[in-house]
């Protein structure tokens, strides 16, 4: 089968995203013509190899958010220097969102901007993290606080990489895939999985093209995230991001329903996609307390004007601020959380 090709349209910084089984064989042809050597950034446990004819070296970074740091960027940069990487060469990331975020930021900073090509190997990486140019690292004070917008030269989503992905990571990715069912009016369910991933990429590409720097519309990508962030923090991060997003979207659907923004059918469609199709949990763990969740949601960084949510409506998904606590309580009631 031929690979899907999606263009992220950003004028002279536009780039292709290739999606398909065996797509990584296209990698070499997508590297910048100026590149005489390449540095591959990956992790030891990722069993995905690519063939390159130009001189290259590999840098392995640590596994987990605790390695998504400025210290890792410094170590990578020192290895770039030792290898003699120049500004006309290329950085290639092979990994999940953690690797693509770190490699992207290292490339953005090296000689004030060196080309990067991402090969995402997780579902989250393919449908979300590798596309759109957000790169960065964490600080003790919070996630992704230091970073840069740095668009890749190309993204290659070889779906064969997903075969080795642990089940929980797949589930997290499905939480993000489910989001795209609600961001577009399309029937994603009618597509087989590779085409569905390609369609998710297309939806994200359009959103990024319209609002590269998240000054407006790009924020709809945070559908389900207001409650999700509160659930992650309240569970001490025992709930993974994608799992929390799945529950967060169900909550957002109830909220839209009690606010008369969507009807019963649309609410039921959320349960169908998230629970029935992707097999994700849709209940808020009963160890959580609604008042604590509400307090955490007030602190959400998108909450400029009171409680702010990305909500569904008859006209699509949009950002809604200043939501009354009464509606939140009605939604928690509907989800049977005390
Ligand atoms: N830049 C963005 O727009 C954006 C969007 C969403 C998420 N993110 C970031 O992405 C990160 C989360 O990404 P993630 O969910 O991919 O997690 P991750 O990169 O930490 O990967 C999860 C685990 O899967 C392993 N792994 C990766 N590919 C594998 C494969 N093919 N086979 C076996 N194991 C594999 C990794 O080594 C890791 O242990 C977070 O840091 C988040 O902030 C960024």
| pLDDT tens per residue, range 159-170 | 999 999 999 999
Where a domain ends, among 144, 173, 202?
A: 173
Dump pLDDT digits (tens) for 250-285.
999 999 999 999 999 999 999 999 999 999 999 999
Q: The domain containing residue 146 runs over which residues?
A: 4-173
Measured in Å, residue 119 CA sits from the centre of ligand 1 at: 12
pLDDT at 304: 61
Last residue of a domain, one of 133, 158, 173: 173
Do 21 and 107 belong to one domain?
A: yes
Question: What pLDDT is attached to residue 302?
Answer: 64
The arithmetic mean of pLDDT across residues 174-192, rounded, is 91
Protein residue whose Cα sits closest to atom 22 of ligand 1: 96
DSSP letters spanning 272-320 = IIIIIIT----S--TTS-HHHHHHHHHT-TT-SSSS-EEE--TT--EEE
Boundary (domain end) residue, out of 152, 173, 194:
173
Ligand 1 contact, 203 CB (< 6 A): no
Tell whether 254 is covered by a domain: yes
Res. 153 pLDDT band, cuts 50 70 90: very high
pLDDT tens per residue, range 286-335: 899 999 999 999 887 666 667 899 999 999 999 999 999 999 999 999 99
CATH number of the domain residue 112 falls in: 3.40.50.1970
The verdict on 156 and 279 lying in the same domain is no
Task: Render 226-267 in DSSP notation, one character per residue.
Answer: HHHHHHHHHTTT-S-HHHHHHHHHHHHHHHHHHTTSS-HHHH
97 lines ligand 1 (CB under 6 A): yes
pLDDT at residue 142 in the model: 83
155 lines ligand 1 (CB under 6 A): no
* CATH number for 317: 1.20.1090.10
Does residue 1 carry a pLDDT above 80? Answer: no
For residue 324, report the distance from its CA to the centre of ligand 1, in Å: 35
Q: Are residues 49 and 164 in the same domain?
A: yes
Please indicate whether residue 63, judged by its CB atom, sits closer than 6 Å to ligand 1: yes
**Residue 205 placed within a domain:** no
> Would 22 be classed as within a structural domain?
yes
Domain tally for the chain? 2
β-bridge pairing 15-20 and 4-8: antiparallel
**Model confidence, pTM:** 0.94
Give the mean pLDDT of 32-59. 97
Q: Is residue 191 assigned to a domain?
A: no
**For range 172-177, the mean pLDDT:** 94
pLDDT at 141: 85
156 with 240, same domain?
Answer: no
8 located within any domain: yes
Do 29 and 148 reside in the same domain of the chain? Answer: yes
% of residues, the chain, pLDDT over 90 = 89
* Radius of gyration of the chain from its Cα atoms, rounded to whole angstroms: 20
As a whole number, mean pLDDT of residues 231-244 equals: 92
Q: How confident is the prediction for the chain on average, in pLDDT?
A: 95
86 is a domain residue? yes
Reference 329, options 288, 287, 291; nearest CA is 291
Is residue 73 predicted with pLDDT exceeding 90? yes
161 and 227, same domain (yes or no): no
Phi then psi dihedrals of residue 283, to 5 deg: -105, 145
């Amino acid at each position: 089968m031929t690979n899907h090709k999606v263009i992220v349209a950003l004028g002279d910084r536009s780039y292709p995203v290739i999606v398909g089984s065996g797509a990584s064989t296209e990698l070499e042809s997508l590297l910048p013509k100026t590149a005489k050597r390449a540095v591959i950034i990956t992790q030891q446990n990722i069993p995905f190899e690519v063939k390159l004819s130009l001189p290259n070296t590999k840098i392995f970074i640590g596994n987990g958010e605790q390695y998504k740091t400025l210290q890792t960027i410094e170590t990578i940069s020192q290895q770039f220097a030792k290898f003699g990487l120049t500004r006309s060469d290329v950085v290639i990331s092979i990994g999940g969102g953690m690797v693509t975020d770190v490699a992207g930021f290292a490339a953005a900073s090296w000689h004030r901007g060196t080309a990067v090509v991402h090969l995402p190997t997780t579902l989250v990486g393919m449908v979300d993290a590798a596309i759109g140019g957000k790169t960065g690292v964490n600080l003790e004070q919070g996630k992704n606080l230091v970073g840069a917008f740095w668009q890749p030269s190309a993204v290659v989503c070889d779906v064969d990489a997903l075969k080795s992905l642990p089940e929980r990571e797949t589930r997290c990715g499905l939480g993000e895939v489910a989001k795209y069912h609600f961001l577009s009016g399309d029937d994603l369910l009618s597509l087989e999985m590779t085409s569905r991933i390609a369609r998710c990429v297309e939806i994200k590409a359009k959103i990024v093209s319209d609002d590269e720097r998240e000054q407006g519309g790009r924020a709809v990508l945070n559908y389900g995230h207001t409650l999700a962030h509160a659930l992650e923090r309240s569970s001490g991060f025992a709930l993974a991001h994608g799992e929390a997003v799945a529950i967060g979207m169900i909550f957002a659907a109830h909220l839209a329903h009690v606010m008369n923004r969507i009807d019963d059918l649309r609410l039921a469609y959320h349960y169908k996609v998230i629970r029935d199709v992707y097999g994700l949990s849709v209940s808020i763990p009963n160890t959580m307390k609604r008042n604590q969740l509400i307090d955490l949601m007030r602190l959400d960084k998108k909450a400029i004007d009171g409680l702010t949510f990305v909500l569904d409506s008859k006209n699509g998904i949009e950002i809604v601020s200043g939501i009354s606590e009464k509606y939140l309580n009605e939604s928690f009631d509907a989800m049977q959380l005390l």
